[in-house]
Amino acid sequence: MRILITGAGGMLGQDVRKAAVTAGHEPIALARAQLDITDADAVTRAVARARPDAVINCAAWTKVDAAEEHEPQATTVNGRGAGSVASAASRAGAWTVHVSSDYVFEGAKREPYMESDPTGPLSAYGRSKLAGEDAVAYSAPETHTIVRSSWLFGAGGPCFPKTMLRLADERDELNVVDDQIGCPTFTGHLGAALVDLAGARTPGVLHVAAAEQCSWFEFAVATVRAGGRDCEMHPIDTSQYPLPAPRPAFSVMRSERGAPALPTWREGLREFMSEIALVRT
């Protein structure tokens, strides 16, 4: 299977390419410098030239807080750009796999969000991702899979565990939010699932996130301990660490549609630590 990957230079895109190679597929990996998804004509040409069986869109505006001041720009990428990718893929006869986010939910529930739950994003970033879902569904109504995932981390880019390890090297104590709950998802695991879904061609929305849930504080403690750092950790409330963009307090997602089950976030953390150790050596 020929798989065109947009945003291939990013953290998730890198792992999608690796997963495609491992599975014996032929990836055509295009980083942002090679393809700007906000340029609809360029997207059309790139997809037509690649002649893919599937397109996995990993290109995205990911700066959550910056989106509060730059919502039109974030929506241009996450909304209109996503629609351009899906439209070009549909015209080329290719299946679209689009990556969305838990931030499309408001986080008021205290039980896992399912695919059928109503959306209600709190932030500009969340609204931009929901716009992308709508654009993909409109542009490729019968040939798309929208994959919502959450709290992504991986060896190929900036992420929460890397930040915690760096700060633990610089400080004796760390305060980390303990009242936001989610499912930290390793991009190595998600990347493989996206490649599988490109072949499965399951239409509509699927929730694909790590098994088990935790708070940012629990995730931070596990990360710092796994890294062998000697740093005292303190839980705090969201109100003690205000950020420009509001986050959903609870964004655990599970599937009622038989989406692929991923390993736990702890398993993902172990693989992440092994990968970054190899990079350092």
Interatomic CA distance for residues 54 and 170, integer angstroms: 44
User: One of 103, 125, 138, 241 is an active-site residue; which one?
Assistant: 125
Helices marked H in 35-141 — which ranges? 40-50, 71-75, 82-91, 124-139
Residue 149: φ, ψ to 5°: -135, -175
Q: Which two tokens stand for residue 130?
A: 């929901």
Q: What is each CA distance from 216 to 115, 134, 236, in whole angstroms?
A: 23, 29, 10
Neighbours of 66 (CB within 10 A): 16
Tell me if residue 125 is catalytic: yes
Interatomic CA distance for residues 208 and 194, integer angstroms: 9
Residues classed as catalytic: 125
